[in-house]
Amino acid sequence: MSELRISDLHVDVLTESGPKEILKGVNLRVGSGEVHAIMGPNGSGKSTLAYSIAGHPKYVITSGSVTLDGVELTHLKVDARAKAGLFLAMQYPIEVPGVSVANFLRTAKTALSGEAPKVRTWVKEVNAALERIGLDGTFAARSVNEGFSGGEKKRNEIAQLELLNPKFAILDETDSGLDIDALRIVSEGVNRYMAQGDRGLLLITHYTRILNYIKPDFVHVFVDGHIVAEGGAELADRLEVDGYDRFVKAAKVDA
Amino acid sequence: MTVTTAVPNLAEAVETSVASNLHPVASFDLADHPVPNGREEVWRFTPLRRLRGLMDGAPSDARLGWHANLPAGVTRTEVSTADAIALGLPAPVDRPSALAVAESGGAVVYEIAPGSQLAEPMVVELSGNGLEQTVYGHLVFKIGAHAGATIVLRHTGSARFNSSVSVLVGEGAHLNFVGLQDWADDAVHLGHVGIRIGRDARVRTVTASLGGDLVRLVETSEYDGPGGVLEQFGLYFVNAGQHIEHRLFIDHNQPHTRSRVDYRGALQGEGAHSVWVGDVLIRKVAEGINTYETNKNLVLTDGCRADSVPNLEIETGEIEGAGHSSTTGRFDDEQLFYLRSRGIPEDEARRLVVHGFFADIIRRIGVPDVESRLLAAVDKELEILVGIPLEVAK
């Protein structure tokens, strides 16, 4: 049984006019086997939550903690967090010209497991993972994300999720910009990952659409840098009908 | 301290409709190329004190070691300087190249027969064996109409070398020209590569400068008819104390011609200095042309200096497109973050990024042996930065 625990997390983003507080005390516990959806309007800090857990240098954790099976992640370097079992599927995956997908994945796998995967079986594994997600074999030889369409970049993130198989994954708006077929294929990949039974998922999304394919065990409504409401899958259904307005107004009254 | 210059977009470029002094008149006459004092626009970046007398013009009959294959379809001749000039070569653009032509005692001419497609790359290896004597070299490649060829010109060893290389590309010919400056640490090389591109010909050049104490290459290109296409790729890796300078001039003197330039450099160590100057002239007759130049510099440590100066002179507005970009900076934090978020340690992530930065150019060479040697050379340079060899999966 694994656990990702976020406790009273406060995060500043560095801007030209000085630090600005984005996360204002986030508390969340994700157990293995659980899918948690974080839903909120634009600008509520959802992506900041994802990036600060993963250790992006633009964000500064001012207080609070994030632990993975008791290990404090906030003190670790970015790559050490990944080694501890964390994975972030990014909203805007980065292009790395001249570095092939195959080389990138092999380097990552080697770093994570401490030994280089066997060349023959690894190539097969990579190609199989890419094909499962609808990327043909030519993608392994292409530069990471370079010239990929928006949908192909998202598929590539999920192929990485399956290949690197972390303990916990954060998907940052993986669904945005996907057409309905791509959404289904990507969701199937995520469901295969979760079907292992001992993995945890934090699914950050703006829309309820993806929740038709990936069933959340818990839904958290995120407004103004913290969680303002929590419930089961039914909370997402209510959001679908009512939108975020009610929560945004309530947050303003509180402030 | 790191000093970097960057011209991010067209708006800051020099754009003028009058003849400028950016590219002096080409001439075979040495009198037209006085000894520079270092304040001239074209010499202001070059540390003249480190030329070891290369500009003096002292006569010398020393030669570089010469090793070349001769694929079927290629003939080699040696001709007098006058006969070489009579071939209609692009004239020297500065004193070193004028000296190279005047003092070489003739030229070696490689001629590829019209219509012949070389089955293998033609490789010319020039090697120096010391700094005692100045060496002059004059080399001509003449590619016949509709011929197809890959030519590799590689420099190694130790030398004080003034060179002039002329590349005459016939109508409809396809040429892939690879120039490697793989010198020993103490070499000084001043060179001019002058390319003339025939009607509808396609020319791709790859210039890689890794070694040498001071390397200054001037690469000029002009067209001999409409429809010519030029692609120029370059890479340089500059270590502590090294000066590596590439000056490009593309003369769009014919309509409906194209040019693409992509030069990339990495610098590391105290006193590493790179210069890239990309001049493009679009003459009044050059309607319908398209040109784009880019130069990217990665500054890996403190104490380096990268000068990057793109210039566009546009004398007609009736063109398809013209632009350039130049960036000089440190690592892209987003790239590093992405790689590290997959568990790749910072050192290794840096190395992957630099490796990729150059692999992106190297993969266009099209000569597997040269590609793998250059990738290995880049990775060796990166060992200086990080200290552990990189395993690269095929």
Question: Hey, what are B284's tokens?
Answer: 């009044």
Domain count, chain B: 2
d(CA B246, CA A233): 62
* Predicted confidence pLDDT, tens digits, chain A (255 residues): 889 999 999 999 988 899 999 999 999 999 999 999 999 998 999 999 999 999 999 999 999 999 999 999 999 999 999 999 999 999 999 999 999 999 999 999 999 999 999 988 898 999 999 999 999 989 999 999 999 999 999 999 999 999 999 999 999 999 998 999 999 999 999 999 999 999 999 999 988 999 999 999 999 999 999 999 999 999 998 888 888 888 888 877 766
Residue where a domain stops, chosen among B312, B330, B348? B330
pLDDT(B116) > 80: yes
Same domain, B242 and B353: no
Q: Quick check: B345 and A106 CB within 8 A?
A: no
Question: Is A159 domain-assigned?
Answer: no
Bridge partners, B321 (sequence order): B290
CB contact under 8 Å between B342 and A116, yes or no, is no
Residue B162 and residue B279 in one domain: yes
The 3 state secondary structure assigned to B60-102 is CCCCCEEEECCCCCEEEEEECHHHHHHCCCCCCCCHHHHHHHH
Using the predicted structure, report yes or no on whether residue B3 has a pLDDT greater than 80: no
From B298, B330, B362, give the residue that closes a domain.
B330
Do residues B27 and B106 make contact, with C-beta atoms less than 8 angstroms apart?
no
Question: What's the rounded Cα separation, in Å, for the pair B315 and A167?
Answer: 62
Looking at the complex, does the CB of residue B347 fall below 8 Å from at least one CB of chain A?
no
Q: What is the CATH number of the domain that holds A50?
A: 3.40.50.300
* Proportion of chain B above pLDDT 70, given as a percent: 91
Domain encompassing residue B372 = 332-394
Three-state secondary structure call for residue A187: helix
- Residue B162 and residue B234 in one domain: yes
Nearest to A103 among B358, B360, B392 (CB): B392
**Sheet with A59-68, side-by-side order of all strands:** A18-31, A3-15, A59-68, A71-72
The position carrying tokens 């959802």 is A46
Pair A228, A39: CB distance under 8 Å: no
pLDDT at B273: 98
**d(CA A220, nearest CA chain B) in Å:** 25
**CA angle, A170 as apex, A113 and A166 as ends, to 5°?**
20
Cβ separation B338–A96 shorter than 8 A: yes
| pLDDT, tens digit (0-9, with 9 covering 90-100), for B365-391 | 888 988 998 999 888 888 876 544 444
Which residue blocks in chain A are alpha helix, DSSP H? 46-54, 78-83, 101-113, 119-132, 150-164, 180-194, 233-242, 245-254
Residues of chain B neighbouring A110 (CB-CB closer than 8 A): 391
Whether A78 maps to a domain, the answer reads: yes
* Number of CB pairs, chain A paired with chain B, less than 8 A apart: 96
Same domain, B91 and B220: yes
Q: Is B91 exposed, middle or buried (0-12, 13-18, 19+ CB in 10 A)?
A: buried
Structural domain count, chain A: 1
Is the minimum CB–CB distance between B337 and chain A shorter than 8 Å? Answer: yes
Does one domain contain both B213 and B344? no
Picking from B330, B351, B377, the residue at the C-terminal end of a domain is: B330
Q: What is the mean pLDDT of residues B218-241?
A: 97
The reported pLDDT for the residue numbered B15 is: 43
Q: Which two tokens stand for residue B247?
A: 């000056």
Question: Which residues face B297 on adjacent strands?
Answer: B265, B328
B202 and B283 housed in the same domain: yes
Q: What is the DSSP letter of B294?
A: E
Do B154 and B112 belong together in one domain?
yes
User: Which residue range is the domain that position A40 belongs to?
Assistant: 3-91+166-186+198-254
